[in-house]
């Protein structure tokens, strides 16, 4: 029992001590996980779901969007500096949009990220990033 606790303690310590530079990679992985979490709890990917289930997902999602008040607490960004929260949701929306459009699917699931980044990001930043994307000089990877 003591050995198990020790192992758990070590793994927790290792997680807490993740260096700051790894935060970016962690953030990317976390947003990947967040996207996967929104997928249905089955072992088939979204594209393989039967149409009925896909529709149910879309309905649930619409309800979630209708109940939207403001960006909820995001445990990936628990502190005062929310710059990364805004940036990450902006990236996630455009990546989601790009990925789902490439597969020819409905991009409604991406609207969550849209609502969150609209809540968080100053309009001037969004305008600037949109212009940068149009000119092809956007610094993020979409």
- For tokens 């896909």, the residue is 54
Gap between the Cα atoms of 48 and 44, Å rounded: 6
Minimum CB distance to another protein smaller for 27 or for 49? 27
Contact flag: residue 139 with another protein (CB under 8 A):
no
> How many amino acids of this chain bind another protein (CB under 8 A)?
21
Of residues 106, 119, 133, 142, which one binds another protein by CB under 8 A? 119
Establish if 66 lies at the interface with another protein (CB under 8 A). Answer: no
The four Cα atoms 32, 35, 36, 37 give a dihedral, to 10 degrees, of 120
Q: Tell me how far apart the alpha carbons of residues 59 and 134 are, in angstroms, rounded to a whole number.
A: 32
- Position among 69, 103, 104, 141 found at the interface with another protein (CB under 8 A): 69
Residue 63 touching another protein (CB under 8 A): no
Q: Of the candidates 35, 64, 118, 133, which one interacts with another protein according to CB under 8 A?
A: 118
Asked if 20 is part of the footprint of another protein (rule: CB under 8 A), the reply reads no
C-alpha closest to that of 91 among 25, 35, 141: 141
Question: Among residue numbers 79 through 98, which ones bind another protein (CB under 8 A)?
Answer: 80-83, 85-86
Instruction: Answer for the pair 69, 10: CB distance below 8 angstroms, yes or no.
Output: no
Q: Compute how many other C-beta atoms are within 10 angstroms of the C-beta atom of residue 135.
A: 8
Q: Which residues bind another protein (CB under 8 A)?
A: 68-73, 78, 80-83, 85-86, 115, 118-124
């Amino acid at each position: 029992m003591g050995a198990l606790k020790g192992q758990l303690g070590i793994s927790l310590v290792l997680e807490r001590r993740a260096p700051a530079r790894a935060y970016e990679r962690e953030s990317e992985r976390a947003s990947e996980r967040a996207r996967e979490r929104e997928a249905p709890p089955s072992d088939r990917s979204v594209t393989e779901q039967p149409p009925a289930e896909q529709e149910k997902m879309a309905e649930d999602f619409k309800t979630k969007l209708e109940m939207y008040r403001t960006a909820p607490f995001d445990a990936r960004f628990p502190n005062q500096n929310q710059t990364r929260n805004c940036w990450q949701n902006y990236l996630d929306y455009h990546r989601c949009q790009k990925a789902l459009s490439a597969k020819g699917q409905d991009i409604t699931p991406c609207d969550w990220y849209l609502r969150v980044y609209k809540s968080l990001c100053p309009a001037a930043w969004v305008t600037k990033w949109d212009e940068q994307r149009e000119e092809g000089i956007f610094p993020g990877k979409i």
